[in-house]
Structure 1
Amino acid sequence: MADLPTPVPVRDAPHRDVLGHFASGVAVVTAAGPEGPLGFTCQSFVSLSLDPPLISFAPARTSRSWPLMRASVAFCVNVLAEEQQDLGSAFAQSGTDRFRGVQWSPGHGGAPLLEGACAWISCDLVHEYAGGDHTIVIGRVTALRADSSREPLIFHRGRYRALTHPV
């Protein structure tokens, strides 16, 4: 067995760098807000359970969108397609109209289904837990569908990437 490097104390920059080696899909979580549609980019999305069908994601505790979104109870996880890097970046910015010029249709509970995504997972809020500087959200899947003609957008080592070929 190879010798493992000596562990270093966890600090923000090295922590992000090391965990950035784990590739993830990119999702935009959306909901109907009191004054219009709301959404934010999220890489911390996972399938949690098949029976019952549950998912999880983790917005930052500093998020201004999530407190407004939670009131609607229903939300949609839009899994972005590889050509949607601009959407991933736009929904990660604060202080902007994230839906400006974005084509979408209302889904379960009015949550926006973003046009061109490769998958849509509509959910109802089940529970929230404190998770350090994030909130761990659990949602029960109410409907889902995918467009198998589209490839997912990937986030790896601080950059958007596309799948190049299956292995």
Structure 2
Amino acid sequence: MTATPALGTPQLASPDLLRSAFRRHAAGVAVITAPGENGPVGFTATSLTSVSAEPPVISFGISTGASSWPAISRADHVGVHVLGEHQRELATTFARSGADRFGAPTAWTEGPEGVPVLDDVLAWLVCRIVARVPAGDHRVVLAEVVLGDPTGAGRPLLYHQGRFTALRD
């Protein structure tokens, strides 16, 4: 039998409450990419979720204020890249506003449907966008998996307590 935790003083819902609670939630790290009118776009996401196996559908969230949003809002396809613990610098680059995300040292190629595919990731998928659902200042993007490669080597990169980290044994 476990004891009921002391509730303390509850906080009213706010962006700060949400951020504080989710700093305690470890999440996998992915980079979402898409072709854009002025070159490829991409961003780091910790909101990647498997939604359905039949058909294979994933989701991720993106702020409507993000520099990648205009391209994602028009794209038919996106790339989804599961990052390994060796890719902290790549995750940081794609999370940083104003960074040259596809310049050196980022290694990538143009993949199917014109989607930028990053090198040396644990897994990558090309997905067809099927819906963009309004959710406050974000959109939840639903996308059906078209093809990919899940055979990259390594251990996953995680985001926890406001930083990129690795699994501990």
In the superposition, the TM-score normalised over structure 2's length comes to 0.91
Partner of 1:29, secondary structure, is strand
Q: CA deviation at 1:15?
A: 2.2
Number of corresponding residues: 165
Contact 1:75 1:108 in 2 (8 A): no
Say which of 11, 24, 48 aligns to 2:27.
Answer: 24
Question: Structure 1 unaligned runs (5+)?
Answer: none
1:5 matched to 2:7: yes
Once the two structures are TM-superposed, the CA of residue 11 in structure 1 deviates from its matched residue by 2.5
1:83 aligns with 2:86: yes
Match of 1:145 in 2: 149
TM superposition shift of 1:88: 0.7
User: How far is 1:148 from its partner?
Assistant: 4.7
Instruction: Write the letter of the residue equivalent to 2:108.
Output: W
Matching residue's letter, 1:114 = L
Matches within 5 A, 1:38-77: 38-77=41-80
| Contact 2:120 2:152 (8 Å CA) reproduced | no
User: Is it true that 1:114 corresponds to 2:118 in the alignment?
Assistant: yes
Give 3-state SS (helix, strand or coil) of 1:13's partner: helix
How big is the shift at 1:121? 1.4
Q: Which one of the candidate residues 33, 36, 40 is aligned to 2:39? A: 36
Which SS does the other structure have where 2:86 is aligned?
coil
**TM-score normalised by length of structure 1:** 0.92
Which deviates the most, 5-14 or 99-108?
5-14
Letter in 2 for 1:131: A
| Secondary structure, counterpart of 2:159 in structure 1 | strand
Deviation at 1:23, TM superposition (A): 0.6
Distance 1:3 1:164, change over 3 A: closer
Shift of 1:105: 1.5
Once the two structures are superposed, what CA deviation does each residue of 1:7-50 show, in whole Å capped at 9, x if it has no partner?
32123223211111111111110011122111011111100000
The 8 Å contact of residues 11 and 17 in structure 2, kept in 1 or not, is answered as no
